[in-house]
Amino acid sequence: MATAAGVACEAEIVRITVDGLEYRLHAGPSLLAALDQIGVLMGEVDIPHYCWHAKLSSDGSCRLCQVEIDGQTGLQTACNTPVRDGMIVHTRSEAVVRARQTVLEFLMLNHPLDCPVCDQAGECKLQDYAWRYGAPNSRSREPRRKLEKRIDLGPGVVLDRERCILCRRCVRFCREIPRTGELAVFGRGDRSVIGLFPGVQLDNAYSMNVVDLCPVGALTSRDFRCKARAWQLESVEGVCGGCARGCNIWLDVAKGEVQRYRPRRNDAVNDTWMCDAGRLSYAEIARSDRLDKAWIRNQESVLEPVSVASAISEAARMLAGLVAEKGAGVIAGIASPHATNEDLFAFKRLLDEIGTENSGLAVPHGEADELLICAEKAANATGARAIGFEDARSLLERIRGGGVDGIVILGHDILTAGYLDDETLLGKIDSVILIDTHQSSLMRVAQVVLPARHLAEKAGTLTNCDRRVQRVRPALAADSELLTEGEIVHRLALALGLNGFEAGYDLPRVSRSLAAAVPPFAGITIESLPSDGAQLVSDGGEKGAVR
């Protein structure tokens, strides 16, 4: 045999041959599922399929996955044929090729062929498979079936019935994953159509996953419709920042902007799903309230725009003056659970080197469910706690008591978490230095405001609710005046002349320092992190994750 791929576990292993190559697989699941488990499906082993999906029950309705198996009569569907030891499978025999052509011809009989105006064009499995496995010409002369072209199924999803190939993935998703069951097949035979049960809308918290699941352009995202063609998009691996789950995502970029988020498969985190709120949260990147310049409060008590370098110098001057006059104990810091592990480690080192123990963390909370959505509405509260930031309530008490004269605040979570109704309390502090991605009412009491990069504009790592450290990469090139929180506090530390901050912020070096200094991160560096992440090695004494 030419190669052998296989599973790590030696128990229940069988050997099969596919097109002359031997594979070692777990016995039991279907041929498609077993090949998917070892990562060769649609790579080394090409078995086209529509209705089968790795995370849904088997349907066996599309008949595209037919293969030939030695010793068995006729062709078998790979999606519901269990793997058995010694199986010899052929995916390119004459009979298989002919069967695929027939299935595709049947599926195309009534298809509208409106690829030029279809949002799915360029990422459509009907296009792809018809091109790769279909017959070169249509034999059909009959008029095509006419059906509704635009049905609003719910707030996020639009159905084009003419394009549907009745694979039922959308139906099974709604029944099996959110278990809301809004969709069904109505009618019989060639009158069958996808539709909603009477009086129901497709508005569950995960509804837009059916758009990713639909192999054709029948289900499209209302948000993404007509925004960009698939071939214009560049996809960058990232992590959703909407809650502590840290769902793995693709950030699809065109025209210098993120056009959409899509789920990226990670079986240890989000399978192949994400929630609608997280999916649509990309809009915050280019929102009109993004901070894009630095500000200093002038002698008339008005914020005026300045360069980032000037704002950092002014912040350093304020903090140094307070330390010289009153000691480091009057300085405090509030961390953001939206910042990366590296940003937070740099911030913790800044506070440690200044010599203050006054720090806190505020984490916004909201609705949670049993599937993915966590109550903590930020991606890195677990990482912040592991690095040493504790709940900000005791720090707020200290501020109320007049014990803080200078504070560095990352983000405005202290407001969104509901720890403060407004900025009034912080207005009692002489020197408020705010580092944030978006404008907030904290600017009213800040003496210095510094703009920070969004998660989509920077590299780093985040620690999710299950203590999994995952990497983010910049999908967008940020303006040179826009730095990460880590870079800003590093420059602030340099301006203060603090120990241990070498010239130039170097993310891999910060990551290695984090791994060396904070026990739970031992052995985890940004350069060595696999694309599906790595677990924190121990709890290091920090408080457990709150979902």
- Binding of residue 520 to ligand SF4 (CB under 6 A): no
- Binding of residue 168 to ligand FES (CB under 6 A): no
Instruction: Map residues 27-56 to x or -, x wherever contact with ligand FES holds by CB under 6 A.
Output: ----------------------xxxx----
* CB hemisphere CA count around 423 (13 angstroms): 15
Q: Smallest distance from the beta carbon of 385 to ligand FES, in angstroms?
A: 44
- Binding of residue 208 to ligand SF4 (CB under 6 A): no
User: Which partner in ligand SF4, ligand FES, none is near 79 (CB below 5 to 8 A by kind)?
Assistant: ligand FES
- What angle is formed at CA 233 by the lines to CA 227 and CA 236, rounded to 5 degrees? 125
Residues 373-432 binding ligand SF4 (CB under 6 A) are: 373
Q: Smallest distance from the beta carbon of 317 to ligand SF4, in angstroms?
A: 40
Q: Which residues contact 299 (CB under 8 A, 6 or more apart)?
A: none
- Residue closest to ligand SF4 (Cβ): 278
- What angle is formed at CA 284 by the lines to CA 282 and CA 287, rounded to 5 degrees? 130
- Binding of residue 129 to ligand FES (CB under 6 A): no
Where does residue 372 fall: left (phi above 0), alpha (psi -120 to 50 degrees), or beta otherwise? alpha
- Binding of residue 219 to ligand SF4 (CB under 6 A): yes
Burial tier of 546 (Cβ tally within 10 Å: 0-12, 13-18, 19+): middle
User: Which partner in ligand FES, ligand SF4, none is near 372 (CB below 5 to 8 A by kind)?
Assistant: ligand SF4
- Binding of residue 455 to ligand SF4 (CB under 6 A): no
Tokens 């199986």 correspond to: 87
517/387 Cα distance (integer angstroms): 9
Q: Which of 41, 65, 124, 213 binds ligand FES (CB under 6 A)?
A: 65
- Binding of residue 168 to ligand SF4 (CB under 6 A): yes
Tokens 């599309």 correspond to: 62
- Binding of residue 89 to ligand SF4 (CB under 6 A): no
Residues 258-277 binding ligand SF4 (CB under 6 A) are: 270, 274-275, 277
282/61 Cα distance (integer angstroms): 36
| The dihedral sign for the CA sequence 497, 501, 506, 510 | negative
Q: Which is nearer to ligand FES, 91 or 336 (CB)?
A: 91
Q: Smallest distance from the beta carbon of 103 to ligand FES, in angstroms?
A: 9
Q: Which of 18, 41, 118, 167 binds ligand SF4 (CB under 6 A)?
A: 167
Q: Which residues contact 26 (CB under 8 A, 6 or more apart)?
A: 7, 9, 12, 13, 14, 34, 37, 83
Residue 152 is classified by DSSP as E
Q: Which two tokens stand for residue 303?
A: 């914020």
User: Which partner in ligand FES, ligand SF4, none is near 247 (CB below 5 to 8 A by kind)?
Assistant: ligand SF4
Q: Which of 25, 40, 56, 62 binds ligand FES (CB under 6 A)?
A: 62
* CB 380, CB 344: distance < 8 Å: yes
Q: Which is nearer to ligand FES, 62 or 335 (CB)?
A: 62
* CB 162, CB 110: distance < 8 Å: yes
CA distance from start to end of the chain: 49
Q: Smallest distance from the beta carbon of 129 to ligand FES, in angstroms?
A: 11
- Binding of residue 450 to ligand SF4 (CB under 6 A): no
- Binding of residue 296 to ligand SF4 (CB under 6 A): no
Binding site for ligand SF4 (CB under 6 A): 164-170, 194, 213-214, 216, 218-219, 240, 242-243, 245-247, 270, 274-275, 277-278, 372-373
